[in-house]
Amino acid sequence: MKSTLPKVLHPLLGRTLLGHVLSAAAPLGADRTVVVVGHGADQVRKHLSEVAPDATPVLQAEQLGTGHAVRIALEAVPDGAGTVVVINGDVPLLRPETVGALVTAHEEAAAAATVLAAEVPDPTGLGRIVRDADGRLERIVEERDADATQRAIREINAGIYAFDAVRLREALGKLSTDNDQGEEYLTDVFGLLRSAGEPVAVHVAQDHVETLGCNDRVELAALRGLLRDRINEAWMRTGVSLLDPATTWIDVTVALDRDAVVDQNTQLRGGTVVGAGALIGPDVTLIDTIVGPAASVIRSHAVGAEVGAGATVGPYAYLRPAAQLAEKAKVGTFVEVKNSQIGAGSKVPHLTYVGDATIGEQTNIGAASVFVNYDGVNKHRTVIGNHARTGADNMFVAPVEVGDGAYTAAGSVIVDDVPAGAMGVARARQRNIEGWVVMRRPGTAAAEAAQRAGDAKGASGVAGAASDSEAMHGAAETVGGTSGAGDTATE
């Protein structure tokens, strides 16, 4: 893989390669699950503790072959009996049903060993199933040890086996390293058992795609595409509409309800849940996000967020962790929300940052507002009440509270609480400097337009004007009264 990350930890639509294999094996209900680790052992152990804490990692310090690996695994379960299933760690498309069918076939045949095989279009690089004249398994040959006739065989070893534990232990003790790689091949167990008169069998997978592994990133990408298609087909057959399956990527851990619609260029990842009738996309990424019924998320990115029933998000919104939108709330264009609750029917339509805030029901937040939540050391919270109307270009310097039904004037920096029903105004009074353009920008198109419109007073255009210094540096005056309707927010 040419990676610092062990191959089995490379991700594939919601799980690692190893995670997919463990998921396929889990329904067997095995008494013990043993994972042989080697390269990147500490990383693999850590991952196992997170996704399969009941699995036992066993270290193969030197990679001396697959037979050696299985022998080490069995040493970790010395009292293990019955059927032992061995699965390669890089077959993420394997289905539980296929593993179960292998075990059933093995036990019904009372075989000492059974190999899962598959008929593939191109067997290059894979071990071949060699049968005798009666069609029974004669031996399994690795490609590098195969002759020209054997290499022409398209029935391959999938690297998945069922063994009788007692007979497997005996055969592993007889393995040699007399092969091209100088390793203990697990596949040689079949030849040893057959020579000893023990029954061995082949179980052929119905779909060879399930047996595909990967040895580089090109093959990993191919598996990702195959898994995407499998996942997408399954969801469409349950009543979910995927408008462009080729550009829709859904993790195996995602849940969608009937009549959800997923538009093109959409990624649904992690523990994301999408409710019935919701519209997701185009151009959306949802990670660990819950979207309620009939909600819509368009051209947006969300991580660890909750979008209530009938709520709308986007386009170009960013919902960060713990962003919570109640029923029919709205987060619009170029709005970012973090660790905040937005009440039912409330709107944050555009160009706003909402961080560490609680917004009540049926409230409107004006455009270009900022919830100033960080003082350089600690985060603080803003509370906006129900049915409030905050002005455009407001800053709420937390901790601060705006009461129910209150208004704030456009352009205000709110540093003190605004009581319920009050108008909060915190800005400088506007002053018009008559004749300034003609005086300070003579000869410009603006000055000529001003004179044509009659804005200048008198021929000189400076009557009643303030001095240059006052015009440019006049002291601000704070408005102390109420504000008109024009001071409130856009919607």
Catalytic residues: 350
State how far the Cα of 305 lies from the Cα of 291, in Å rounded to an integer: 8
CA distances from 10 to 305, 363, 371, 478 (A): 26, 45, 39, 60
Convert 42-56 into a string of H (helix), E (strand) and C (coil).
HHHHHHHHHHCCCCE
Which residue from 200, 165, 175 is spatially nearest to 73, judged by alpha carbons? 165
| Strand, coil or helix: 24 | helix
| Residue 412 CB-density burial (10 A; 0-12 exposed, 13-18 middle, 19+ buried) | buried
Strand residue runs (E) in 165-264: 200-204, 241-242, 248-250, 255-256, 261-262
Which residue from 337, 280, 340, 339 is spatially nearest to 312, judged by alpha carbons? 280
Q: Give the tokens for residue 485.
A: 């309707």
CB 300 within 8 A of CB 294: no
State how far the Cα of 187 lies from the Cα of 421, in Å rounded to an integer: 80
State how far the Cα of 37 lies from the Cα of 61, in Å rounded to an integer: 8
- Helices 17-25, 96-108: inter-axial angle, 10-degree rounding: 50
Q: Angle 420-320-373 (CA atoms, 0-180°, nearest 5)?
A: 45
